[in-house]
Amino acid sequence: MRHLAFDLGRVLFDFDYSIALDKIKDKLGVPVEKAAQELVKNDFPLDFEKGLLSAQEFYIKFKQAFKTHLTYEEFVDAWSDIFTPKKEVIGLIERLQYVYPVYLISNINELHFEHLHERHPEIFRLFDTLLLSYKIKSVKPETKIYAELKKISGAQYTDILYIDDREDLIREAKKLHLQCIRFDELNQLKKDLTHAGIHLPTESETDTLRALKDSLKASPKSLIVGLGNVLRGDDAVGINIIRGIDGKVRLKTLDAGVSLENYLSPIKKSNADTICIIDAAEFNGPDAFKLFTPHDIKNLSLGFTHDASLSLAIEYLQKEMASDILLCAVRNNKRALGQEMSAETKRAQNIIGNFFLKNFPKTA
């Protein structure tokens, strides 16, 4: 599985030191242009971003360097409130985090992070881990902060896709063999992610993944059942997903081959409170996969590959068990004997498989 590491400044949030300087320009003892030069081009906050200075110590350094007469509270207010969230990029990460491990790796100081975290806690909750330079005592492009990313992710550098707006940081990260994307704007990022093999779920597909996650998280004992025929193209999708996650997730899994009714006994013995059945199907709408209930099978023309036997088997399970039953339908584009799986179904297979691996990993 690929791991995604995002920078903060200019990627998740725009920022502008001139906002801070404009607030305090009447209290600066040096020209605003000189202060801007020090902040932007000469890495004035570097020691603060490395965690080598406390907020109070950096305040004193700032006062001395720019000959200001600010109180600490005035300084914190001006220094911190310079950020604007990039909502479309954040929305993309919200979709990606259902499918891939995502990390924030940022050169940032204590005051900026505390300000942003207080204002936007929901953004930071999207990430599996926050790698903050002032806590790690290392800034990009130093090896230490990337080594911490490698350690926390448990992935090799070649399996980590690093997104940053700065070419100098991208260049140094490539020397460690991280896979890199230079961020410019959202549409280019989407193209670059797709080119790198990252599958982007649509908004409605994300809603499906969110609903499935909520259902499975709420169930102490869940069973994931795959149906399919490897000889018939897209029809293989259900069992391919099961084989890809078997033994790697904490959920029980079952490869039911082409016939659910042959596995009713082990399903009953599982005593699962939620059963999710994955199968190829034909249904309306643009998405490559959707979530349905048994009620939908009776009332909609879903055209599951194993429709007749599936309906009968589900009716039996509903009588014999008190389980919630969900059907994850993957669009069936090709199912003639000997056909290869279609690209769109492969995409859905990868998204759903990664979803289980990301959200329900088997603990050591």
Tell me: the pLDDT tens digits for 259-298? 888 999 999 999 999 999 999 988 888 999 999 988 887 6
Peptide bond before 220: cis, by omega within 30 degrees of 0?
Answer: no
Q: Do 75 and 118 belong to one domain?
A: no
Pair 131, 33: CB distance under 8 Å:
no
Task: Give every CB contact of residue 126 below 8 A, 6+ residues apart in sequence.
Answer: 90, 93, 94, 97, 102
CA dihedral of 226, 231, 235, 241, whole degrees rounded to 10: 40
Please enumerate in sequence order all residues whose Cβ is within 8 A of that of 7, keeping only pairs 6 or more positions apart, or say none. 105, 106, 140, 163, 164, 165, 166, 169, 183
> Considering 44, 59, 81, which residue would you say is the last residue of a domain?
81
pTM: 0.94
Task: Output the six-digit token pair for 10.
Answer: 């200019």
What is the rounded distance in angstroms from the CA atom of residue 80 to the CA atom of residue 109? 10
Residues 274 and 159 in one domain: no
> What's the confidence (pLDDT) of residue 40?
85
Asked if residue 271 and residue 214 are part of one domain, the reply reads: yes
Looking at this protein, which amino acid is placed at residue 225? V
H helices of the chain, in order, are 17-24, 32-40, 46-49, 55-66, 72-80, 87-96, 110-119, 121-124, 133-136, 143-153, 167-175, 186-195, 203-217, 237-245, 264-270, 294-299, 307-320, 343-359
221 and 157 within one domain: no
In a domain, 364, yes or no: no
Q: What are the C-alpha distances in Å from 329 to residues 146, 282, 284, 342?
A: 39, 8, 11, 15
- Same domain assignment for residues 251 and 344: yes
**Does residue 230 belong to any structural domain of this protein?**
yes
| Judgement on whether residues 183 and 294 belong to the same structural domain of the protein | no
Structure tokens at 105: 């790796």
Rounding to the nearest 10 degrees, give the CA dihedral for residues 186, 187, 188, 189: 50
Q: Which of 153, 177, 195 is the last residue of a domain?
A: 195
CA distances to 25, 27, 66, 109 from 39, in Å: 14, 17, 11, 13
pLDDT at 36 (0 to 100): 93
User: What is the distance between the alpha carbons of residues 205 and 344, in angstroms, rounded to a whole number?
Assistant: 13
For every one of its 364 residues, what pLDDT tens digit does the chain have, with 9 covering 90 and above?
A: 999 999 999 999 999 999 999 999 999 999 999 999 999 888 999 999 999 999 999 999 999 999 999 999 999 999 999 999 999 999 999 999 999 999 999 999 999 999 999 999 999 999 999 999 999 999 999 999 999 999 999 999 999 999 999 999 999 999 999 999 999 999 999 999 999 999 999 999 999 999 999 999 999 899 999 999 888 889 999 999 999 999 999 999 999 998 888 999 999 999 999 999 999 988 888 999 999 988 887 655 555 655 557 788 888 999 999 999 999 999 988 777 888 999 999 999 999 999 999 999 998 5
Same domain membership, residue 174 and residue 311:
no
Residue 269 CB contacts under 8 Å (≥ 6 apart), including other chains = none
Its domain, for residue 44, covers 17-81
Give the helix/strand (H/E) hosting 103: strand 102-106
CATH of the domain at 46: 1.10.150
- For residue 328, the domain's CATH number is 3.40.50.1450
- Report yes or no on 311 lying in a domain: yes
Residues 7 and 24 in one domain: no
Q: Give yes or no: residues 245 and 350 share one domain.
A: yes
- 187, 210: one domain: no
Residues 342 and 267: their CA atoms lie apart, in Å, by: 30
What's the pLDDT at 302?
Answer: 53
pLDDT given at position 259? 87
| Domain match, 268 and 183 both | no
Are residues 67 and 143 located together in one domain of the fold?
no
Of 195, 226, 241, which residue sits at a domain end?
195
What is the domain count for the chain?
3
